[in-house]
Amino acid sequence: MIAVYENGRQVHSAAQVTDPGGPVRPAPAQPREPGPGEVRLDVRASGICGADAGMAANPTPAYGFPITPGHEVAGVVAEVGEGVAGWEVGERAGVGWFGGSCGYCTACRSGDVVHCAERQIPGLSYPGGWATTITVPAAALVRIPGGLSFEEAAPFGCAGVTTFNALRHSGAEPGDRVAVLGIGGLGHFALQFAAAMGFETVAIGRGADKRESALGLGAHHYIDASAEDAGKALRALGGARLLLSTASSSKPLAGLIDGLTSHGRLTVIGFDGLPLDLPLDKLVMYARHVTGHVTGSPVETEQAMRFALASGVRPQVQTAPLEHAAEALKTQQAGQARFRMVLTTGE
């Protein structure tokens, strides 16, 4: 999408849903000048996450219609609001699932900003990044290091930082066996990070055709859950200290819990909203843990990017122009992307 100017001012556009249940369509967008403590970005790339489908279908968006999804955003600082220090026009910056917090609650004051009760999320709390412009709280900004393109940087705002944090805070140590369920937008990041962190990495997918991709992403072992009992296969390897579930379905987890070692941990970052049905005796008798994990702070996203640059981890993306957002969303939802769809503005 080439920038268009009228009377010396750039004309912006967005991929939006204009009414409940409506389709995602390109439309003109009015940039919002940053208020105190805010920054406006000119967007260069914006990833498509599974959660974006839910945002697009939201019948009662917090900021009203039209809905602009998008919470994996990379761009350039275009305007800086009053009272903002540390950011200048022209800097490369992004924003992820964490899109701002109150700054004064117990969670914020203890540094746990992502669990602020008033946490904001681009696309859910205010118009998101499927656009050529987005205005966000300066505290939510992520500084993009040299060495990452905008298309590579965007997915770190959600998929990248989520998998990075889930692995490094899991209690697993280098040399431990870590299994990753699912080889998609989250899973392909997790496999790379797990291998780079020194874990013996096991990929669990469905179909022999995924083996080559999984091994290419750094997995040391591949378990085809469509051809064998994945829990038994994982146990035959010696069991996993961590099972990181990145898949959108919780159904396989009951059968995989036996693949954990004693004191092993199941961490869920991908889910379908259905109840998790696990045999409690399998947890109690082996002192296993079940946890959930979501996103990371801007500082942690920057850490994930720096680790990626040092270790060679990169998202594998398919790009599509912003005006083709509807088709790109369908590709992502159908599991046909390898492995993250990213919308670009053509600048």
Domain ranges of the chain: 4-158+296-344, 161-292
CB 132 within 8 A of CB 29: yes
Report the phi/psi class of residue 99: left, alpha or beta, with left for phi > 0 and alpha for psi in -120 to 50: alpha
Distance (Å, whole) CA 131 – CA 13: 6
From the list 256, 259, 269, 68, the residue with the least C-alpha distance to 165 is 269
Given a contact cutoff of 8 angstroms between Cβ atoms, the answer to whether 126 and 103 are in contact is no
Determine the pLDDT at residue 1. Answer: 41
pTM: 0.95
Closest CA to 71 of 159, 149, 182, 164: 159
Mean pLDDT by 10 residues, the chain (347 residues): 51 95 95 97 97 93 96 98 98 98 97 96 97 98 98 98 98 98 97 98 96 98 97 98 94 94 97 86 96 96 98 98 97 91 91
- Using left for φ > 0, alpha for ψ between -120 and 50, and beta otherwise, residue 326 falls in alpha
How long a stretch of residues is the chain? 347
Cα–Cα distance list, 35 to 10, 125, 136, 288 (Å): 19, 16, 9, 48
| CATH architecture group of domain 161-292 | 3-Layer(aba) Sandwich (3.40)
User: What distance, in Å, lies between the first and last C-alpha atoms of the chain?
Assistant: 7
Predicted pLDDT at 106: 97
Distance, C-alpha 14 to centroid of its chain: 20
Q: How far apart are CA 98 and CA 221, in angstroms?
A: 33
Q: Within 13 Å of residue 48, how many CA atoms lie on the same side as its CB? A: 32
- CATH architecture of residue range(s) 4-158+296-344: Alpha-Beta Complex (3.90)
